[in-house]
């Protein structure tokens, strides 16, 4: 009867996994909180303290650091090793399921104490993973709950393959290496950076056909955006970049939202009560640029939306779900990639960019910080309708390449100008796209106006309200133009460059 040792901090999926192992006649060993969890789930198991005849000591600091455990894991399949185990009254351990104390999450918390950080350094778990990974030819090692389904699938076919055991061992060593590097960096006087990434997909090529490319993930056993491709070819390098921009923007709105992106810059963003209306408004913002773009929706794509999209050439469409009727419509558009992805709040962690000879790291721009205070600086207050459009436009402009300008009416963009070396050109482009829709719209600028010329052009185009960070030495000049034209102006005190 095979034996599995279970000792996990993250108990997600554990009950079902352990239950199925027990049904397949596995003996389960468990320690501490894992044993209590299995007992609560009424899953038969043996506590490690009972198995080793050695109680937990130092208030649980030492549980699995015992020769009976590590000899059972490290024993090879040789007669000599098995005979020695038997002589000691011990048995081989065939699977080790461990995930570690959340050291990284602990030190990411504000004002965490050194004592608290130290207490979240896992010792026994790391030792178990390394021992099992070293003996991968006999032992299955699982360091991530997302591997449960793969292990169960192969066990039901007979046994876990050598290829899978080796892959799981590699992941376990990678995880302990990253874990130790994080601890070393935390305790070091000089911060060091260790990135542990897992290869997920070799891409057909990079931005251009002569460039090689590959997609790596922060987690193993995952896929881009944590989703799945329902139809169409594999995602390309450029698809992934465009989808990242579109999906982040769509997820930032609470109302049903549709975002259309081309070359990493939105050409249309709209919110509405119905997804179909949001799509039509986003498309109207710049229908020429939308051709061959990617689209993100933060709501299910149903039949009506699919019919509305039917005539547009779309590279990729990402949404949390697609109705069967919508999928049937898209089957006629075989080159359109459909990606179903979970609605996950974008991480507030770090983002990285490479430069020649190094990397840049910064915290993610997740919108205005909580202490941001908006200030109406013009003589005229914005109307309720203008406030709605200003709030929408201020969020939209954060996803446009700098210099970035967004014109909006209600909760839809009517003109976008971005990626320009000077701000006044971005204003002109946004007004050009808006055309007859510019009068009565509001304007959002990702940074302040260095000169009043942008405000002058906006006033001439019939724009009625402006929102921007403020902070220029010439703010008074721009404000004077706004007041003279009867524009409302709001300072946010926060800049949102996107390069």
More confident site: 183 or 63: 183
C-alpha count within 13 angstroms, C-beta hemisphere, residue 92 = 18
Sign of the dihedral through C-alpha 177, 182, 183, 184: positive
Q: Which pTM was predicted? A: 0.74
CATH superfamily of 200-340: AICAR transformylase, duplication domain (3.40.140.20)
In this prediction, residue 59 carries a pLDDT of 63
Category of 115 on φ-ψ map: left (φ > 0), alpha (ψ -120 to 50) or beta: alpha
CATH superfamily of 375-491: AICAR transformylase, duplication domain (3.40.140.20)
On the question of pLDDT at 72 being above 70, the answer is: yes
Q: How far apart are CA 465 and CA 478, in angstroms?
A: 13
Neighbours of 281 (CB within 10 A): 21
Q: What is the chain's mean pLDDT, rounded?
A: 91
The answer, yes or no, to whether residue 364 has pLDDT greater than 90, is no
Half-sphere exposure of residue 461: CA atoms within 13 angstroms, side-chain side: 27
Chain segment 193-228, per-residue pLDDT in tens: 777 788 888 999 999 999 999 999 887 778 888 899
Surface-to-core class of residue 224, CB atoms within 10 Å of its CB (0-12 exposed, 13-18 middle, 19+ buried): buried
Band of pLDDT at residue 189, cut at 50, 70 and 90: low
Residue closest to 340 by CA, chosen among 303, 304, 296, 306: 296
Facing residues of 270 across strands?
258, 412
What integer is the mean pLDDT of 1-23?
A: 91
Distance CA 21, CA 3 (A): 10
Q: Which residues are catalytic?
A: 134, 263
- pLDDT bin (cut points 50, 70, 90) of residue 347 is low
Residue 108 pLDDT exceeds 80: no
| Confidence label for 57 from pLDDT (cuts 50, 70 and 90) | low
Which whole number is the average pLDDT over 230-244? 94
Handedness of CA 254, 401, 365, 262 (dihedral sign): positive
User: How many Å is the Cα radius of gyration of the chain?
Assistant: 28
Calculate the alpha carbon distances from 41 to 35, 37, 145, 198 in Å. Answer: 10, 6, 17, 33
Please state the three-class secondary structure of the chain as a single string. CCEEEEEECCCCCHHHHHHHHHHCCCEEEECHHHHHHHHHCCCCCEEHHHHHCCCCECCCCECCCCHHHHHHHHCCCCHHHHHHHHHCCCCCCCEEEEECCCHHHHHHCCCCCHHHHHHCCCCHHHHHHHHHHHCCCCCEEECCHHHHHHHHHHHHHCCCCHHHHHHHHHHHHHHHHHHHHHHHHHHCCCCCCCCCCEEEEEECCCCCCCCCEEEEECCCCCCHHHCEEEECCCCCHHHHHHHHHHHHHHHCCCCCEEEEEECCEEEEEEECCCHHHHHHHHHHHCHHHHCCEEEEECCCECHHHHHHHCCCCEEEEEECCECHHHHHHHCCCCCCEEEECCCCCCCCCEEEEEECCEEEEEECCCCCCCCCCCEECCCCCCCHHHHHHHHHHHHHHHHCCCCCEEEEECCEEEEEECCCCCHHHHHHHHHHHHHHHCCCCEEEECCCCCCCHHHHHHHHCCCCEEEECCCCCCHHHHHHHHHHHCCEEEECCCCCCCC
User: Comparing C-alpha atoms, which of 191, 200, 240 is closest to residue 218?
Assistant: 200
pLDDT in tens, 114-171: 888 888 888 888 999 999 999 999 999 999 998 999 999 999 988 999 999 999 999 9
| 209 contacts: CB under 8 Å, gap ≥ 6 | none
Q: What is the pLDDT of residue 255?
A: 96
Q: Which residue has the higher pLDDT, 6 or 191?
A: 6
Of 143 and 64, the one with more pLDDT: 143
Q: Indicate if the pLDDT at residue 272 is higher than 70.
A: yes
User: Do residues 265 and 401 make contact, with C-beta atoms less than 8 angstroms apart?
Assistant: yes
Kindly report, as residue ranges, where domains of CATH 3.40.50.1380 are found in the chain.
Answer: 3-187
pLDDT at 307 > cutoff 70: yes
For the chain, the straight-line distance linking the first and the last C-alpha, in angstroms and rounded, comes to 59
The pair phi, psi for residue 412, each rounded to 5°, is -150, 140
Does the structural domain 3-187 have CATH classification 3.40.50.1380?
A: yes
pLDDT of 180 above 90:
no
The share of the chain scoring above pLDDT 90, in percent, equals 64
pLDDT at 361: 87
Task: Give the mean model confidence (pLDDT) for residues 460-480.
Answer: 96
> What pLDDT score does 342 carry?
92
359 is written with which tokens?
């990397």
Q: Which DSSP category does 62 fall into?
A: B
Quick one: average pLDDT of 16-35?
90
CB 235 within 8 A of CB 251: no
CB atoms within 10 A of CB 357: 5
Which pLDDT belongs to residue 348?
64
């Amino acid at each position: 009867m095979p034996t599995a040792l279970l000792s996990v901090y993250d108990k997600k999926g554990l009950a079902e996994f352990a239950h199925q192992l027990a049904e397949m006649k596995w003996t389960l060993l468990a320690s501490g909180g894992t044993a209590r969890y299995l007992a609560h789930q009424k899953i038969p198991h043996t506590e490690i303290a009972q198995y080793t005849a050695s109680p937990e000591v130092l208030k649980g600091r030492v549980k699995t650091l015992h020769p009976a455990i590590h000899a059972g894991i490290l024993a090879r399949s040789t007669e000599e090793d098995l005979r020695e185990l038997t002589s000691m009254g011990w048995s081989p351990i065939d699977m080790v399921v461990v995930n570690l104390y959340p050291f990284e999450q602990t030190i990411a918390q504000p004002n965490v104490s050194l004592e608290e950080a130290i207490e979240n350094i896992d010792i026994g778990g790391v030792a178990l993973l390394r021992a099992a990974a070293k003996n991968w030819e006999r032992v299955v090692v699982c360091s991530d709950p997302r591997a449960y389904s793969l292990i169960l699938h192969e066990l039901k076919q007979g046994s876990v393959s050598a290829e899978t055991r080796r892959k799981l061992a590699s992941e376990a060593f990678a995880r302990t290496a990253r874990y130790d590097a994080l601890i070393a960096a935390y305790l070091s006087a000089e911060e060091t950076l260790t990135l542990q990434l897992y290869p997920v997909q070799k891409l057909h090529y990079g931005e251009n056909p002569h460039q090689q490319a590959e997609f790596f993930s922060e987690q193993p056993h995952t896929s881009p955006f944590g989703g799945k491709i329902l139809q169409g070819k594999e995602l390309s390098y450029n698809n992934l970049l465009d989808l990242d921009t579109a999906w982040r923007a769509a997820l930032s709105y609470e109302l049903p939202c549709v975002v259309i992106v081309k070359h990493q810059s939105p050409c249309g963003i709209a919110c509405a009560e119905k997804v179909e209306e949001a799509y039509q408004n986003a498309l109207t913002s710049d229908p020429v640029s939308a051709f061959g773009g990617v689209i993100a929706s933060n709501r299910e794509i149903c039949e009506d939306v699919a019919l509305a999209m039917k005539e547009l050439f779309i590279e990729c469409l990402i949404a949390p779900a697609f109705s069967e009727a919508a999928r049937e419509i898209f089957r006629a558009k075989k080159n359109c990639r459909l990606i179903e992805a979970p609605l996950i709040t974008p991480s507030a962690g770090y983002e990285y960019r490479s430069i020649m000879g190094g990397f840049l790291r910064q915290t993610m721009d997740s919108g205005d910080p909580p202490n941001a205070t908006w200030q109406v600086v013009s003589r005229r207050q914005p109307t309720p309708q203008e406030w709605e459009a200003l709030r929408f436009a201020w969020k939209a402009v954060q996803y446009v390449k700098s210099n970035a300008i967004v014109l909006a009416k209600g909760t839809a963009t009517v003109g976008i100008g971005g990626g320009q070396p000077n701000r006044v050109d971005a204003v002109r482009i946004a007004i050009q796209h808006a055309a007859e829709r510019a009068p009565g719209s509001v304007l959002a600028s990702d940074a302040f106006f260095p000169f009043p010329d942008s405000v002058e052009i906006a006033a001439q185009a019939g724009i009625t309200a402006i929102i921007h960070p403020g902070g220029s030495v010439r703010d008074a000049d721009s404000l004077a133009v706004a007041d003279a034209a009867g524009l409302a102006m709001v300072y946010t005190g926060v800049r949102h460059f996107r390069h």
